[in-house]
Structure 1
């Protein structure tokens, strides 16, 4: 079963997602340090999880390897669950992922989450360099089963990997005549489509739906997940997390300006330009065409921006419509300081505890 309960006055659990944001004028060192600081704040304020997403070849994002950051954050935090939201599994060999997260679970028992996605987390050319195969996505379901087999050290008789073992893991414990680890990484399925919903349901795993990318149909996906869910040894009933982009400030105008910086980064990506977080003043001065203005306005509005009360109202409305169990707040404006302060503000709004 999933660990933890709802905190404060929120009718849902609250978590945080970060990408190691490096806006224009920020070094990678500064961006990663701000991610560490954000994780400390989320831990101190009683958020449920702190996840990081895997991206490649994006100037605005410095976390190419969530497991590396998780290893650092284990020493920087005390209670919060740490995870990848997610590891883009077609970019990696399942055995390597099982080994990495087995190590992390040994370092921080009952605190590690492993979210699995199938998107490359980058552009086509970079994906080809990572994957060395054009059809990597087609084998995602099989890759997931392999990974789960390695984590549990359970493959059916005759399976080619029956004698291959991920270390650390159950096989190592048995060989060394010590108890099998009681809890490994908590495995989640990530996505924004019916495919991911069906796979999460079939495997009986918790499901994380990404609302920060485009006009994804969460209602259909969650209906499929809940209707087709098969209880497993891991999870007896459906559990849903939705991630939403936020920009929170006591100054609603500043929150909107920060939301517009992430909207501009999305527009640049659509134009096949580098994913950059421009300063708000540059975004304000950009001579957008009518079509570009539509994109910018749509993505700015998609971000839950404004005062803590305004953002909480939108979170509540989303919860009432979808019935999600957990909401994950995704920062990502040009200002890392605003992201961190916003986490504090929303924690105050919901009376989350100070650790």
Structure 2
């Protein structure tokens, strides 16, 4: 119980609402529509400040809770002016204090950038503050350029190839389960509550898919920027899966880029702002998410136009009904247990409305 909860109880306030069951933790599956969740990066658009972006993310999380979204994840990125979520643990602590039942998590923490003990402490603390509401999603990419990655790691030799060992070490810190004789056998991450956040592995290729299967962990695939690899990665995850204390069967989530507006043309106009932002990132000139006018006026070359078309072609966009149908079609095609929509378009109000339209069309608001 947090200090605020204790004060509220002492004042006679009602107990907090119960946290909804998480399908990954053993609730019945297959009897209801697939859960729908949100991945947010605290997107900073041209003309906005990081403070405004973080306020918009907080407002979006509160609305997501009301609309009936299941999870709200934030991701670690560095050196990107268009992304304010550089430290998931700090942002999740703030979101936890401003929501009550919404599951919160990292999508993800880039584990090679950190000591496993530090992450175990951070997420153990988050779990203590928000019991039963925290997910710990782990990625093995740096989430930035190589120079920034070197600055983050300060000469540590650990890299993506050490990811399996880092995951094992992190798990042992969370559980206090190092074997006898291990240098860390007496160490447990503090604070340690009654429970601990479930670990997810994230990926955009087969490596993390296979590792998640071998470890019996839930797996989240980044379909939103690696759509051609989605089904092969999920097949590999399922074929590699070994039942564990965490899961008795595979549980796969896919991240999906989605934009809803009044009609398809408006949705496409907004989607082009995210696509141009990604194009600039790939060109080594990251910046705030451009405005629709900037995206329309940009002098695209042939290769740039091809990239834009390919990026937008991987999105689910259109009027609300089109997006809901597209999401359901993708879920059926991939067999995903859960969908996590994400949208890095310009304009906080436009982005907020897009998620609201999707929630209504997908039937979340009626369920909520």
What TM-score do you get using the length of structure 1 for normalisation? 0.93
Q: Which runs of 4+ in 1 moved over 3 A?
A: 3-7
Superposed, 1:10-89 pairs within 5 Å as 11-89=33-111
The whole-number CA distance in structure 1 between the counterparts of 2:56 and 2:32 is: 26
- Give 1:251 shift: 3.2
Distance 1:338 1:5, change over 3 A: farther
Q: Does 1:119 align with 2:131?
A: no
The whole-number CA distance in structure 1 between the counterparts of 2:89 and 2:26 is: 22
Q: Does 1:150 align with 2:170?
A: no
- Give 1:188 shift: 0.3
Aligned residue among 279, 289, 304 for 2:301 = 289
Distance 1:234 1:20, change over 3 A: same
5+ residue gaps, structure 1, are: 170-180
Which residue does 2:351 correspond to in 1? 339
Q: Relative contact order: is structure 1 or structure 2 higher (C-alpha 8 Å, sep ≥ 6)?
A: 1
3-state DSSP class of the match of 1:212? Answer: coil
RMSD over aligned Cα atoms: 1.8
Aligned length: 343
1:32-65 CA-partner distances (Å, limit 9, x unpaired): 0000011001111111100001000001000101
Aligned residue among 149, 159, 170 for 2:182 = 159
The whole-number CA distance in structure 2 between the counterparts of 1:331 and 1:223 is: 26
The whole-number CA distance in structure 2 between the counterparts of 1:11 and 1:44 is: 18
Q: Does 1:232 align with 2:244?
A: yes
Superposed, 1:213-252 pairs within 5 Å as 213-252=225-264
- Give 1:5 shift: 6.1
1:3-43 CA-partner distances (Å, limit 9, x unpaired): 48699x97311000100100110001000000001100111
1:142-188 CA-partner distances (Å, limit 9, x unpaired): 0000000001110111111112221012xxxxxxxxxxx44210110
Q: Does 1:319 align with 2:323?
A: no
Q: Does 1:200 align with 2:200?
A: no
